[in-house]
């Protein structure tokens, strides 16, 4: 059986995941849109990164053709100093493909290209495995490096490849882990061929695993993993083998919030602190401007004056309410061209927000950071944009602080949970139902991957989605007023 570098990384995380990958192919989930988009981003970054190491030669072999790739790599290393997608394979079944293999005197450097903007810990494991394979396949390795995107790079006109990327030498960290690789490899090679499925208790980080649908099929929608801290949830499950909040005694709760959430859930009730809700409402100044942004992020900056992964706002919704319970007026902005949306958005925002009254947002860090970035980008608009930030009030606070909490929130203060807990409005069934979808569809538009009709539909869906986000805040404000007055129970 083969062991690839992604198998190795998976095996380090969880041997059961590795076993399931090898023995229960029926359980391997289809890639979702987000994962596919990440793959595509990775490929684009990789293609650009080859120019960082010019004059290399590509190993011409299909992905599945490990033997062919390894044989062609051997031949190319005789006459070439820079080889892209170099492949090595061992008799024990281990194999890998390094993004760039570069000659360094009598030895070789391994260079892994990553679309992130920093070195992540698992890259070290990734390179440790690759070094093990290449060295045992007859390529002495001197340095191991990661080439990743540079988050300080700002695009001006054409991409500057030397500035877009940063190369980090991680040889020392790789060498430190090197001694354990062989032991792990042996363990994984024997583990994956065992006939019986390994028993690994479910734990709080399982929800990120591709096999969570299988291992976590009995976990209820609201469980100890939502209620307790990761450490306590894992301890609780190990000791009791229960996921159920009903089985959690008070002693397991380490914060006041957890106690509130637990009691609310057990009694299927609300937690209401009228005075705290009223204190928060007292900070509001009318008219209220309920604001929400949608943004798009590109690994490789598409526009001038943008860094890798900059959050570029392209849409906002604004509901304006002159007094409590008054019918709100709605304004919105959506950039419908394949050009930089920021200047037009900032100007319309300033024009729409007036000079006084609270700007109500849900989770203020996001909108305030976008405003600060716009102010840096457009110094002539900075005073007005920063003045908007001075007026921001965060509606998340009364819900996150548990001044008002419903058991239906399932320990979350996200508007996606709070809204259906207190109103009939929900995001279910919407063509665009969350910020991630809004972002990926708008990115597809920017990249010219949609037909005109698809874009038209998407613009309508975006307007509906973002409009609902701010209308939701209007409804929640009404809810807060009613609870503050004790009218709702
Ligand atoms: S869901 Fe958890 S236990 Fe199951 S394979 Fe994944 S990490 Fe392992």
Element holding 76 (H helix, E strand): helix 66-79
pLDDT in tens, 237-264: 999 999 999 999 999 999 999 999 999 9
Residue closest to 265 by CA, chosen among 165, 410, 395: 410
Q: Are residues 405 and 323 in the same domain?
A: yes
Domain presence at residue 212? no
pLDDT in tens, 284-308: 999 999 999 999 999 999 999 999 9
Q: Are residues 341 and 441 in the same domain?
A: yes
Nearest CA to ligand 1 atom 5: 17
The three-point CA angle 400-419-421 to 5° equals: 85
Residue labelled with tokens 């920021």: 342
Domain presence at residue 382? yes
pLDDT in tens, 403-447: 999 999 999 999 999 999 999 998 889 999 999 999 999 999 999
Q: Are residues 260 and 317 in the same domain?
A: no
Answer with the residue of higher pLDDT: 426 or 12: 12
Give the pLDDT of residue 325: 87
Question: Cα(185) to centroid of ligand 1, in Å?
Answer: 19
Q: What percent of the chain has pLDDT over 90?
A: 93
Q: What is the mean pLDDT of residues 185-190?
A: 95
Residue closest to 480 by CA, chosen among 424, 411, 419: 419
Residue closest to 52 by CA, chosen among 163, 172, 155: 163
Q: Are residues 453 and 406 in the same domain?
A: yes
Of 173, 191, 209, the last residue of a domain is 191
Question: Cα(228) to centroid of ligand 1, in Å?
Answer: 19
Contacts of residue 43, Cβ cutoff 8 Å, sequence gap at least 6:
none
Domain presence at residue 203? no
Domain presence at residue 351? yes
Residue labelled with tokens 């024009």: 351
Q: Is any atom of ligand 1 closer than 6 Å to the C-beta of 212?
A: yes
Helices 33-49 and 435-446 cross at an angle (nearest 10°) of 40
Nearest CA to ligand 1 atom 7: 206
Tell me how far apart the alpha carbons of residues 276 and 147 are, in angstroms, rounded to a whole number. 50
Contacts of residue 438, Cβ cutoff 8 Å, sequence gap at least 6:
294, 315, 432, 462, 465, 466
Give the pLDDT of residue 488: 63
Q: What is the mean pLDDT of residues 73-83?
A: 97
Q: Are residues 260 and 287 in the same domain?
A: no
Q: Is any atom of ligand 1 closer than 6 Å to the C-beta of 16?
A: yes
Give the pLDDT of residue 217: 94
By most ligand atoms within 8 Å of CB, the mutation choice from 9, 14, 15 for ligand 1 is 14
Of 206, 234, 268, the last residue of a domain is 268
Q: What is the mean pLDDT of residues 71-78?
A: 97
Question: Cα(15) to centroid of ligand 1, in Å?
Answer: 8
Q: Is any atom of ligand 1 closer than 6 Å to the C-beta of 211?
A: yes
Q: Are residues 223 and 153 in the same domain?
A: no
Nearest CA to ligand 1 atom 2: 206
Question: Cα(258) to centroid of ligand 1, in Å?
Answer: 25
Domain presence at residue 207? no
First-residue to last-residue Cα distance in the chain: 61
Give the pLDDT of residue 250: 96
Model confidence at 487: pLDDT above 90:
no
Question: Cα(102) to centroid of ligand 1, in Å?
Answer: 37
Q: Which residues pair with 86 in a beta bridge?
A: 98
Question: Cα(119) to centroid of ligand 1, in Å?
Answer: 25
Question: Cα(334) to centroid of ligand 1, in Å?
Answer: 41
The domain in which residue 109 lies consists of: 5-191
Which ligand 1 atom is the nearest neighbour of the CA of 200? 3
* Structural domains of the chain, count: 3
59-68, 249-258, 376-385, 479-488: range with lowest mean pLDDT: 479-488
Tell me how far apart the alpha carbons of residues 63 and 31 are, in angstroms, rounded to a whole number. 18
Whether the model pTM is above 0.95: no
Answer with the residue of higher pLDDT: 489 or 391: 391
Q: Is any atom of ligand 1 closer than 6 Å to the C-beta of 200?
A: yes
Give the pLDDT of residue 446: 96
What token pair was written down for 474? 């209007």
Of 203, 233, 268, the last residue of a domain is 268
Given a contact cutoff of 8 angstroms between Cβ atoms, the answer to whether 466 and 332 are in contact is yes
Model confidence at 206: pLDDT above 60:
yes
Give the pLDDT of residue 486: 85
What token pair was written down for 387? 């003045």
Distances (CA, A) of 399 to 189, 409, 434, 488: 49, 9, 20, 16
Give the pLDDT of residue 50: 97
Q: Are residues 398 and 471 in the same domain?
A: yes
Q: Are residues 325 and 348 in the same domain?
A: yes
Residue closest to 90 by CA, chosen among 193, 194, 185: 185
Domain presence at residue 308? yes
Average pLDDT, the chain: 96
Reported as a pLDDT band with limits 50, 70 and 90, residue 489 is low
Q: What is the CATH classification number for the domain harbouring 385?
A: 3.30.420.10
By most ligand atoms within 8 Å of CB, the mutation choice from 18, 24, 202, 243 for ligand 1 is 202
Q: Is any atom of ligand 1 closer than 6 Å to the C-beta of 14?
A: yes
Whether residue 287 is preceded by a cis peptide bond, meaning omega within 30 degrees of 0, is yes
Question: Cα(231) to centroid of ligand 1, in Å?
Answer: 16
Q: Are residues 249 and 285 in the same domain?
A: no
The values of phi and psi at residue 425, to 5°, are -75, 135
Length of the chain: 489
Q: Are residues 263 and 289 in the same domain?
A: no
Q: What percent of the chain has pLDDT over 70?
A: 99
pLDDT in tens, 145-175: 999 999 999 999 999 999 999 999 999 999 9
Domain presence at residue 321? yes
Domain presence at residue 41? yes
Tell me how far apart the alpha carbons of residues 6 and 96 are, in angstroms, rounded to a whole number. 9
By most ligand atoms within 8 Å of CB, the mutation choice from 27, 200, 237 for ligand 1 is 200
3-state secondary structure of 87: strand
Q: Are residues 121 and 224 in the same domain?
A: no
- Helix residue ranges per DSSP H, 228-255: 230-240
Question: Cα(245) to centroid of ligand 1, in Å?
Answer: 21
Reported as a pLDDT band with limits 50, 70 and 90, residue 113 is very high
Contacts of residue 292, Cβ cutoff 8 Å, sequence gap at least 6:
316, 317, 361, 362, 367, 466, 469, 470, 473
Q: Are residues 335 and 257 in the same domain?
A: no
């Amino acid at each position: 059986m083969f062991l690839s570098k992604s198998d190795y990384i998976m095996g380090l995380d969880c041997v059961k995941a590795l076993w399931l990958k090898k023995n229960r192919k029926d359980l391997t989930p289809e890639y979702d849109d987000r994962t596919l988009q990440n793959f595509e981003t990775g490929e684009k970054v990789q293609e650009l990164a080859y120019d960082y190491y010019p004059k290399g030669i590509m190993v011409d072999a299909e992905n599945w053709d490990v033997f062919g790739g390894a044989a062609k790599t051997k031949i190319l290393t005789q006459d070439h100093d820079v080889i892209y997608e170099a492949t090595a394979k061992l008799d024990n079944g281990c194999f890998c493909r390094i993004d760039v293999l570069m000659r360094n005197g009598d030895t070789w450097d391994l260079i892994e290209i990553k679309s992130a903007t920093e070195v992540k810990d698992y890259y070290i494991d990734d390179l440790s495995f690759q070094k093990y394979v290449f060295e045992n396949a007859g390529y002495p390795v001197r340095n191991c490096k990661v080439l990743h995107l540079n988050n300080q790079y700002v695009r001006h006109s054409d991409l500057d490849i030397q500035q877009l990327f940063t190369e980090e030498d991680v040889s020392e960290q790789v060498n430190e882990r090197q001694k354990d690789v062989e032991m792990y490899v042996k363990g994984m090679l024997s583990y994956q061929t065992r006939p019986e499925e390994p028993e690994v208790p479910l734990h709080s980080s399982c929800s990120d695993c591709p096999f969570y649908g299988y291992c976590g099929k009995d976990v209820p929608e609201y469980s100890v993993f939502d209620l307790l801290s990761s450490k306590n949830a894992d301890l609780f499950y190990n000791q009791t083998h229960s996921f159920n909040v009903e089985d959690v005694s008070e002693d397991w709760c380490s914060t006041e919030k957890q106690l509130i959430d637990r009691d609310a859930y057990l009694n299927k009730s609300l937690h209401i602190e009228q005075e705290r809700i009223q204190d928060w409402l007292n900070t509001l100044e009318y008219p209220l401007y309920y604001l929400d942004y949608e943004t798009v992020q590109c690994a490789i900056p598409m526009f001038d004056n943008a860094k890798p992964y900059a959050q570029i706002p392209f849409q906002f919704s604004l509901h304006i309410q002159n007094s409590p319970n008054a019918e709100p007026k709605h304004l919105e902005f959506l950039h419908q061209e394949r050009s930089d949306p920021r200047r037009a958005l900032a100007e319309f925002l300033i024009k729409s927000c007036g000079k006084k009254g609270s700007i109500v947002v849900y989770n203020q860090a996001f909108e305030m950071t976008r405003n600060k970035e716009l102010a840096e980008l457009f110094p002539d608009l900075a005073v007005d944009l920063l003045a908007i930030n001075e007026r921001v009030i965060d509606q998340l606070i009364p819900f996150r602080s548990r001044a008002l909490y419903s058991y239906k929130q399932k320990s979350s203060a996200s508007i996606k949970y709070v809204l259906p807990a207190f109103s009939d409005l929900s995001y279910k069934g919407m063509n665009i139902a969350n910020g991630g979808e809004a972002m990926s569809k708008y990115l597809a538009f920017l990249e010219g991957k949609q037909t005109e009709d698809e874009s038209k539909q998407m613009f309508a869906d975006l307007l509906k989605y973002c409009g609902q986000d701010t209308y939701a805040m209007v409804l929640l404000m009404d809810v807060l007023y009613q609870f503050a007055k004790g009218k709702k129970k």
